[in-house]
Chain A
Amino acid sequence: MRSTAHAFKENARTAMADPDLTKALTKFKTGFPLKRAQAVAALPEFEALRDAGKAIKDHTLAHLDLYLEVFEQNVRARGGHVHWARTAAEAKEIILRLCREAGAKMVTKGKSMVSEEVGLNTALEAEGLEVVETDLGEYILQIRKEAPSHIIAPALHLSKEQVADDFRRVHTHLASDRKLSEPADLLTEARVLLRDKFLNAEVGITGANFLIAETGSTVIVTNEGNGDLTQTLAKTHIVLTSIEKVVPTLEDASTLLRLLARSATGQEFSTYTTFSTGPRRADDLDGPEAFHVVLLDNGRSALLGTEMQEALRCIRCGACMNHCPVYHAVGGHAYGWVYPGPIGAVVDPALLGIAEARHLPNASTFCGRCESVCPVRIPLPKLMRLWREKEFEGKLSPPAQRWGLGVWAFVARRPGLYRLATGLGMRVLGMAGAKRGRFRSLPLAGAWTAARDFPAPAGKTFQELYKARRTGVHHG
């Protein structure tokens, strides 16, 4: 996917001017947090579960090479294949080759953010393949030619009226006066259309929420069951996922699944949890004839052994964006790349480079709400701050900002100068603003005063007044 992360500010401005989006986000910003809070309140051991989840991921990441090798061996032992992709380009090449070998004309797909990351659909379509997204949200985005705006609710930015319009526009073979006012109408229409595709596709591609080393299984969770049909009906099942998804055991995956659903949607468990272990065996009733797992690195391994490694614990639940006031204000598209919200602000600079994605870790108030809900306790503000350090070291931040901060730090490091400068400055500001108590505009403060008044200071600093009181000296 092509990034527009560098244009975050403009993207954000456009987003905030879109009334449909604002309406969708207003509903979203209280809905998801409330559901999560209820699910958490109903599970007394939730905080302990978070500790356990963090520990599982930390352990796995410390021995990632080992668990990936065990995973590979076990996939092979059950008749499947594992392919290693260093980059997005390699991942696309591998999948194109597998599709060609399978003689594919049509490919069905379950929801996969890694597929968005590598830009798989465009690559497959360029080879003349028909690609069909089977998750309802992804299907809607496909017909709108849009990217997901959220990692678990990809079409969150759209209203059901917008979707109904799209269905009427694209599904022209259906009666134009049919009823499409309820979400269930839309779901049924999509289901009927997709049924054919499931039956005719030669290849089904899914992502994976977890990979289990001890069994060589891949795991996906969905609420629509589309993933099951994608992967069991096609002759070839390809799992495209990334290396940090592996966990040692089934037990570990169960622990993380309990965290995932509660953190994501407030469900105790997702509606469908599907384990895939190798291709169909002789006495299996169904399943694919071939089973491939493509493991993408794309910059992740470079984070191992650094302070940024903690970001690789992410289980992509979306809780951080569900609770992020900046995401609530601008929505997911403004971030300009696959992963929005706080986790995007941490991983996008790693995958795209800080020069391209510099705004994302800056566009945070460090309110800490993301960290307080992250099921695997990723210190998201801390990691965003580390990116700001990189940016500062690399002198990538805007000169005016660096200059302003530099002047402030220069003064603050010299108490005598601070006393003098602030004493004088506050006196001037205090006198000018005494009557009204605030300014509607101030030189150099345009960013502040565009939307709010600037409170005037009292005129003397606390330290001046305190000293005067202590020594009994009173100036006018």
Chain B
Amino acid sequence: MNSFPEKPRPRVGLLVTCLVDLFRPSVGFSAVKLLEDAGCDVVVPEQTCCGQPAWNSGDRADTVALAKAVIQAFEGCDYVVAPSGSCAGMLRKHYPEALADEPDWAQRAHFLARRTHELVSFLVDVRGMRGVQASYPGTVTYHDSCSGLRELGVKAQPRELLASVKGLSLTELPEAEVCCGFGGTFCVKYPDISAKMVSDKAAHITSTGADTLLAGDMGCLMNMAGRLQRLGSPVKVRHVAEVLAGDISAPPIGQGEGEITR
């Protein structure tokens, strides 16, 4: 009989992302729960922002400073996991680019990049999760956020886990792969164009008849929730992690305590 010691639990650093940190702590707690269910030890190093706004605005100096801080904060972790495709993409794809001129740091950035994952794809692809213990009575539709989809290949994983949620049925969103118009600073630099894009998105969401919209990135979710609510739509908006973790105690995004609809 084999008597090898049990595989140690990987130490996962949660890159909570600044939008979740500031606006939606419940997503952070859902991520912690899902990671623990997947057999990980979760740590939350002190953190601010991954530097994406600076990088996308062409501000290399601030990007480099923030990237170095993140690299240092997470160096002791086996994995870095973020409940966001765009922040995970920032670490995986863009830190090595941003630090390319400093060989020591570039190497550390590459090492971090290879250990960084978006939450749901990490659960499925790295931890082999095939389902969750959760229930959500309702019809949901799912928007594929751009960075997760195209930089990291997040597409099938959330659908696989959502299929195991009791009571939940998924109606696919037409043009689910088209950008919602958030784009970080884009939505305030070009508000008219962004508004047109998110209006088209809202029309598609409404056309599905779903009562809930899910996605994996807070920026997109806040954008779509904000537009749906401005239009008076009753569609509830949540981060996919909340539904997968079975924790919907927080009101849907943009809905207050005064009007909790479920």
Give the Cβ gap from A132 to chain B, nearest Cβ, in Å: 37
- How far apart sit A261 and B251, CA to CA, in the bound complex (Å)? 50
With an 8 A cutoff between CB atoms, is A399 at the interface? no
The residue on B at minimum CB distance from A458 is B25
Is the Cβ of B222 less than 8 Å from the Cβ of A12? Answer: no
Is the Cβ of A368 less than 8 Å from the Cβ of B257? Answer: no
The residue on B at minimum CB distance from A361 is B58
Q: Mark B19-41, 1 if CB is under 8 A from A, else 0.
A: 01111111111001000000000
With an 8 A cutoff between CB atoms, is A411 at the interface? yes
- How far apart sit A30 and B147, CA to CA, in the bound complex (Å)? 21
**CB-contact partner of A325 in B49, B62, B181, B189, under 8 A:** B181
Is the Cβ of A408 less than 8 Å from the Cβ of B53? Answer: yes
Give the Cβ gap from B219 to chain A, nearest Cβ, in Å: 10
With an 8 A cutoff between CB atoms, is A436 at the interface? yes
**CB-contact partner of B192 in A13, A422, A460, A466, under 8 A:** A13
Q: Mark B81-125, 1 if CB is under 8 A from A, else 0.
A: 000000000000000010000000000000000000000000000
- How far apart sit A440 and B191, CA to CA, in the bound complex (Å)? 15
Give the Cβ gap from A16 to chain B, nearest Cβ, in Å: 6
Partner-binding segment picked from A251-259, A265-273, A386-394? A386-394
Is the Cβ of A447 less than 8 Å from the Cβ of B226? Answer: no
- Within 431-445 of A, Cβ neighbours of B (below 8 Å) are at 433-438, 440, 445
Q: Mark A221-249, 1 if CB is under 8 A from B, else 0.
A: 00000000000000000000000000000
* Residues of chain B within 8 A of A382, CB atoms compared: 97
With an 8 A cutoff between CB atoms, is A190 at the interface? no
Is the Cβ of A392 less than 8 Å from the Cβ of B179? Answer: no
The residue on B at minimum CB distance from A419 is B46
Q: Given A389-B60, A463-B46, are A12 and B150 also a contact pair (CB < 8 Å)?
A: no
* Residues of chain A within 8 A of B190, CB atoms compared: 9, 12, 326, 362-363
* Residues of chain A within 8 A of B230, CB atoms compared: 440, 451-453
* Residues of chain B within 8 A of A385, CB atoms compared: 55-56, 58
The residue on B at minimum CB distance from A387 is B58
- How far apart sit A425 and B22, CA to CA, in the bound complex (Å)? 9
With an 8 A cutoff between CB atoms, is B156 at the interface? no
**CB-contact partner of B21 in A362, A390, A422, A437, under 8 A:** A422
Is the Cβ of A453 less than 8 Å from the Cβ of B229? Answer: yes
Is the Cβ of A392 less than 8 Å from the Cβ of B58? Answer: yes
Partner-binding segment picked from B134-142, B194-202, B240-248? B194-202
Give the Cβ gap from A385 to chain B, nearest Cβ, in Å: 7
Q: Given A363-B190, A367-B150, A452-B226, are A388 and B255 also a contact pair (CB < 8 Å)?
A: no
The residue on B at minimum CB distance from A423 is B22
* Residues of chain B within 8 A of A275, CB atoms compared: none
Q: Given A413-B65, A465-B25, A466-B44, are A365 and B182 also a contact pair (CB < 8 Å)?
A: yes
With an 8 A cutoff between CB atoms, is B253 at the interface? yes
Is the Cβ of A438 less than 8 Å from the Cβ of B255? Answer: yes
Is the Cβ of A325 less than 8 Å from the Cβ of B199? Answer: no
With an 8 A cutoff between CB atoms, is B170 at the interface? no
**CB-contact partner of A329 in B20, B57, B189, B193, under 8 A:** B193
Q: Mark A396-428, 1 if CB is under 8 A from B, else 0.
A: 010001000100110111010011001001100
Is the Cβ of A365 less than 8 Å from the Cβ of B146? Answer: yes
With an 8 A cutoff between CB atoms, is A366 at the interface? yes
* Residues of chain B within 8 A of A4, CB atoms compared: none
- How far apart sit A452 and B55, CA to CA, in the bound complex (Å)? 26
14 CB < 8 A contacts A-B: A9-B192, A13-B192, A16-B193, A330-B193, A368-B150, A368-B151, A369-B146, A369-B178, A392-B59, A397-B58, A405-B62, A437-B251, A437-B257, A448-B191
Residues of chain A having any CB pair with chain B under 8 Å = 9, 12-13, 16, 30, 325-326, 329-330, 362-369, 371-372, 382, 385-393, 397, 401, 405, 408-409, 411-413, 415, 418-419, 422, 425-426, 433-438, 440, 445, 447-458, 460-463, 465-466
Closest 4 CB pairs of A and B: A365-B183, A437-B256, A452-B226, A388-B58
